[in-house]
Structure 1
Amino acid sequence: MDKFFNTAGPQKAELNYTLPPLMRLNWAELSYLIDSQRYFLLHAPRQTGKTTTLLAMVERLNAEGRYSALYVNIEMAQTARNQITIGNYTVANAIARSARLTLHDSSLLDWLEAQPHHGESHHGLVFNLLERWSLHHPKPIVLLLDEVDALIGDTLVSLLRQLRTGYTQRPHAFPHSVLLCGVRDLKDYRIHQSSGDIITGGSAFNIKAESLTMGNFNEVECRQLYQQHTEATGQPFEEGIFAELWLDTAGQPWLVNALGHELTWKESALRDRSQTITLQHYQAARERLIQSRATHLDQLSDKLCEPRVHGVIAPIVAGEGDSIQQAADDLQYCEDLGLIRRHPMAHISNRIYQEVIPRELSIVMQQNITHQQQQWYLTAERRLDMVKLLKAFQHFFRENAESWIERFDYKEAGPQLLMQAFLQRIINGGGRIQREYALGRKRTDLTIEWSLDEAQGFFGPVQRIVVELKLQRGDLEELIAKGITQTLDYADGCGAEESHLLIFNRDPKVSWEEKLWYCPARENQPHLWGC
């Protein structure tokens, strides 16, 4: 079978285009931690290649012959929640079955099946199993536990404390080295016990030596992965794709693979490997991926309701990422989830997430805007009449702003999200919107691309329009002067032929008659709007 870009589960080198997994970690550092009998963590955002890397570690360690290495996924114990007996049995069973499959050692499963299935004895079941195995196994054991942070409450506390208890017995009567793998760093675990107490992972597992993390692909690695497809099939990618791929994904492995899959398989015309994959093909694939609300993107969106995430993301979406007041731990938590990068200041991790997050936050509003029709805003030449559209938005905003913004979870960014929902409702099906949150400049920039020829789509002529959104704070004239320069610069960089600066006034003491105004574009000045 021909290789393909994988978006589901661990990579298989015989099936998937893949980069050497162990190149993504410092093997010398890992070897040192293992050789020195350390218990440590590996954490990284979802679908970045953690499991693939753990499996490669097991393969290498077992091939070297000094250790018996075992990979175990313990996610099934999540459903036990605070039921320690069930949780411990599930973890122990996962270890025993993995030992049988990977190391051809059935002794753990035989021992486990001889144990009573209920009772207090199960509170130390994982400890007893690992102790017995280590005492009788001919080699030191390296245990890699995956999806540890999927466990909940008392089950997680019990597991961490059993490992901590056995730590002093290593390597003779407990595993030589243990790696715990998950999305979050252990110090970010906030474990709710059945008693109502909340403890942190660090206090339950204070023997942790290190917390390692995995980064994304770098720009060269993104190109190398796609080059594997070209080498295998002869099908080239246009050079311009790679710069856009890097900006859109920042090397996030799932996104890089998902776009590759869209281009080389989902786009059926490109299954003809004699066809060159163009930048236009890439842009269409990007939009399809965003609109698909794929599982990876859906998982990220699910986190947006968490208070710790809300406090970080809301100011960024409002164009005020420099005013985040959340604790450093919350910023680190959002970075561990893959939602943001913290330097030079907090910002959404990549351009695709920049699109997905506001769409997700405004999707219900977009669906509820039922009285707007795309054809109302098209000229005879099928161009978007942006002045007509924004006048309609002013009317819509006056009628609905107060009640609709109150429904948003992200009220701080309500005006910007409502504007984007309105635009998305009208643009969908004939155009696309790209969003950018200017770091430290208190603005949100929208680029609208509208295909002028339905038959050709984005392979034909395209109308480009820039809309810059600002919240009014301080002197209006000064804000307009600064905004004009920023809007024109952004429009020039995007190659947009038309630009608009829209300023929201959220002062409840100002009347709507004062808030709503419009100044047509003049030479060296965009269209100016008040809302």
Structure 2
Amino acid sequence: MAKFFNNAGPVKADMNYHIDPLTRIDWDEVYDLILQQRYFILHAPRQTGKTSSLIAMMHALNKKEDFTALYVNIEGAQAARGDVEAGISAVCSAFARSASLYLNDPDLEPWIRATVKEFPAEDRLSSILAAFSMRLEKPLVLMLDEVDALVGDTLISLLRQLRAGYEQRPKAFPQSLVLCGVRDIRDYRIHTSHNEIITGGSAFNIKAASLRLGNFTEDESKDLWLQHTKETGQVFDEKIFPELWEDTKGQPWLVNALAHELTWNNKEARDRTKPLFLEDYFAARERLIQSRQTHLDQLTDKLKEPRVSRIIEELLQGEELPDTVFGKISTDDQQYVEDLGLITTKPQIAISNRIYREVIPREMTWLAQTRIVQESLWYTKEDLSLDMTKLLSAFQQFFRENSESWIERFDYKEAGPQLLMQAFLQRIINGGGRVNREYGLGSRRTDLFLEWPLDKEKGFFGPVQRVVIELKILRKGLENTIKEGLEQTTDYADKTGAGEAHLVIFNRNPQIPWEEKIWNKTMNHGKWTMGVWGS
């Protein structure tokens, strides 16, 4: 059977290229926790490989013959919301199906369903786990997946019933329990039907450890792709792999989805004799970003949460938010955003990978892009290059006429000027060129790198115009801002190999008239001559 890259659901080893799920966790630590009869958390961002790892753990434990291990996905109980009767019934039903499927005992499911009916919902799960554990010859290791999909009183009842049976382990309750989800249990904010807010930590204070499933390493990402070469003979240009790492930082869904886009959705590449080059990869990356697939859609949906938006907005504008906003950010908030996979904090806080850096501003300004009336044809010279002077002059006028109304529509108003510039450029570049973005807390800037093909037939395989645009907010005087901006812009232009560079400075002081805000000049810094623009 031909193998494919997996971009949906748990790994199937016979169908999918994959990294062994058990190598992605600290198996010795997990096994020690099980031997010590611990209840613990395994969490990771969506589509990281949690389910694949849990199922692999179950099979590995069952092969050891020391335990009976069982994986149960309880996501179906989410629909019950705060209805404890319906929610706990759904959990028990999922438990019955999994026990019958994975333990290969046809009598289990009818026995469990008959036993369930004897108990009220508030005691049903703990009773069934007690009866089931005593029925087994070996201690039970239970893995509950998608626990944090549950909400309200259903989730509280689940956690409290698990806690209630804890003292009965291992004879009359699971010896060890793994709760799995996107978030660590400390980040559960459970709203009861009586409008109480209960944290997961207080409802489940028997947690011994929280383990986080990490991304692929750089070597694992490359090895996964090279499984395709070994299987089919199709060769990847070595230049692709450093770009793959920067684009994904090993996020498993992204690594697989990019490979699937490149090797399968690109129908020409289904001819496995065709080698795949760097520009083929870049084209696949752009198609993936524009596809707005579920993973990317879920990612951007999280940006609407206040706990998330305050931190991401800092990063988009490259500096800390005002004290009135920054004071609302807690350590738990930052940890929550990191647990979602949106940011990393080592060696410094930053958006997790280059694709997320690209997707986030695009999604946040998507409505603006569709309503901005601009065409690349208006700014194209006879040699097919972009007339950047004409383009940036047009942006100045657009910003003057529209910034107040557009920025007011953005959720992230502090980063509004940077976002509006990116929406304007994206509207012009779409379908022809590329806009690459860099920003990080403390840099006090947003770096944009434009690539524009100069030969329509050859596209990015031919000559390409490369332009750096650096965006800064005027904070500490125009002279100092220009000085700092020139140094940063030239550094970035040297780094990217650009042929042209521009510095755009936004003055957000409402007391300054537009006649003073709008200006441009040509300035020199080292070997560079660049445009400096006020907006």
In structure 1, C-alpha distance between the alignment counterparts of 2:116 and 2:345, rounded to whole Å: 50
1:511 corresponds to which residue?
513
2:227 corresponds to which residue?
228
1:308 corresponds to which residue?
307
> Is this contact kept in 2: 1:78–1:150, CA < 8 A?
yes
Q: How many Å apart are 1:100 and its aligned residue?
A: 0.5
> Is this contact kept in 1: 2:6–2:256, CA < 8 A?
yes
Which is further off, 301-310 or 452-461?
452-461
Residue-by-residue CA offset, 1:439-472 (whole Å, 9 max, x unaligned): 4211000001111111211111111111000000
Other structure's SS at 1:502 match = strand
1:32 corresponds to which residue?
32
2:434 corresponds to which residue?
432
Q: Which amino acid aligns with 1:527?
A: G
Corresponding position: 1:525 with 2:524: no
Change (3 A) 1:321 1:343: farther
Structure 1 segments of 4 or more deviating over 6 A? Answer: none
2:361 corresponds to which residue?
358
In structure 1, C-alpha distance between the alignment counterparts of 2:151 and 2:508, rounded to whole Å: 42
Q: Which amino acid aligns with 2:481?
A: L
2:374 corresponds to which residue?
372
Q: Which amino acid aligns with 2:66?
A: R
Q: Which amino acid aligns with 2:197?
A: I
In structure 2, C-alpha distance between the alignment counterparts of 1:372 and 1:28, rounded to whole Å: 58
Identity of aligned residues (%): 59
1:184 corresponds to which residue?
183
1:401 corresponds to which residue?
403
Equivalent residue for 2:496, pick from 489, 494, 497: 494
Residue-by-residue CA offset, 1:405-456 (whole Å, 9 max, x unaligned): 1111100100000110011011101111000004421100000111111121
Other structure's SS at 1:406 match = helix
Q: Which amino acid aligns with 2:72?
A: V
2:247 corresponds to which residue?
248
In structure 1, C-alpha distance between the alignment counterparts of 2:111 and 2:452, rounded to whole Å: 66
- Paired residues in the alignment total 529
Q: How many Å apart are 1:318 and its aligned residue?
A: 1.1
> Is this contact kept in 1: 2:115–2:128, CA < 8 A?
no
Other structure's SS at 1:209 match = strand
Pairing of 1:48-67 with structure 2 (within 5 A): 48-67=48-67
**Runs (5+) with no aligned partner, structure 2:** none
Q: Which amino acid aligns with 2:389?
A: V
In structure 1, C-alpha distance between the alignment counterparts of 2:109 and 2:400, rounded to whole Å: 68
Equivalent residue for 1:335, pick from 328, 331, 338: 338
> Is this contact kept in 2: 1:10–1:52, CA < 8 A?
yes
> Is this contact kept in 2: 1:10–1:49, CA < 8 A?
yes
In structure 2, C-alpha distance between the alignment counterparts of 1:229 and 1:97, rounded to whole Å: 35
Pairing of 1:275-314 with structure 2 (within 5 A): 275-314=274-313
In structure 2, C-alpha distance between the alignment counterparts of 1:236 and 1:194, rounded to whole Å: 58
Q: How many Å apart are 1:321 and its aligned residue?
A: 5.6
> Is this contact kept in 2: 1:405–1:411, CA < 8 A?
yes
Which is further off, 320-329 or 348-357?
320-329
TM-score normalised by L of structure 1:
0.97
> Is this contact kept in 2: 1:322–1:440, CA < 8 A?
no
Other structure's SS at 1:52 match = helix
Q: Which amino acid aligns with 2:174?
A: P
Q: How many Å apart are 1:136 and its aligned residue?
A: 1.4
> Is this contact kept in 1: 2:6–2:260, CA < 8 A?
yes
Q: How many Å apart are 1:322 and its aligned residue?
A: 8.8
Change (3 A) 1:212 1:310: same
1:23 corresponds to which residue?
23
In structure 2, C-alpha distance between the alignment counterparts of 1:349 and 1:457, rounded to whole Å: 29
In structure 1, C-alpha distance between the alignment counterparts of 2:440 and 2:71, rounded to whole Å: 43
1:79 corresponds to which residue?
79
Pairing of 1:438-477 with structure 2 (within 5 A): 438-477=440-479
Q: Which amino acid aligns with 2:313?
A: A
Q: Which amino acid aligns with 2:149?
A: A
> Is this contact kept in 2: 1:248–1:352, CA < 8 A?
yes
> Is this contact kept in 1: 2:116–2:124, CA < 8 A?
no
Change (3 A) 1:225 1:157: same
Q: How many Å apart are 1:239 and its aligned residue?
A: 1.1
> Is this contact kept in 1: 2:96–2:113, CA < 8 A?
no
In structure 2, C-alpha distance between the alignment counterparts of 1:112 and 1:90, rounded to whole Å: 13
Q: How many Å apart are 1:343 and its aligned residue?
A: 2.0
Q: Which amino acid aligns with 1:348?
A: I
Which is further off, 355-364 or 269-278?
269-278
Residue-by-residue CA offset, 1:365-410 (whole Å, 9 max, x unaligned): 11111x2222111111111111111111111111111111111110
> Is this contact kept in 2: 1:108–1:129, CA < 8 A?
no
Residue-by-residue CA offset, 1:67-97 (whole Å, 9 max, x unaligned): 1111000000000010000000000010011
Pairing of 1:203-214 with structure 2 (within 5 A): 203-214=202-213
In structure 1, C-alpha distance between the alignment counterparts of 2:105 and 2:141, rounded to whole Å: 15
> Is this contact kept in 1: 2:466–2:497, CA < 8 A?
yes
> Is this contact kept in 1: 2:316–2:440, CA < 8 A?
no
Q: How many Å apart are 1:109 and its aligned residue?
A: 2.6
> Is this contact kept in 2: 1:488–1:525, CA < 8 A?
no
Q: Which amino acid aligns with 1:378?
A: T
In structure 2, C-alpha distance between the alignment counterparts of 1:46 and 1:161, rounded to whole Å: 25
> Is this contact kept in 1: 2:92–2:116, CA < 8 A?
no
> Is this contact kept in 1: 2:314–2:441, CA < 8 A?
no
Q: How many Å apart are 1:111 and its aligned residue?
A: 3.5
**Runs (5+) with no aligned partner, structure 1:** none
Pairing of 1:40-189 with structure 2 (within 5 A): 40-114=40-114, 121-189=120-188
Corresponding position: 1:345 with 2:344: no
Residue-by-residue CA offset, 1:193-217 (whole Å, 9 max, x unaligned): 1110000000000000100011111
In structure 2, C-alpha distance between the alignment counterparts of 1:175 and 1:113, rounded to whole Å: 19
Q: Which amino acid aligns with 2:250?
A: G
Q: How many Å apart are 1:333 and its aligned residue?
A: 0.2
Other structure's SS at 2:144 match = strand
> Is this contact kept in 2: 1:99–1:106, CA < 8 A?
no
In structure 1, C-alpha distance between the alignment counterparts of 2:64 and 2:352, rounded to whole Å: 38
In structure 1, C-alpha distance between the alignment counterparts of 2:86 and 2:440, rounded to whole Å: 50
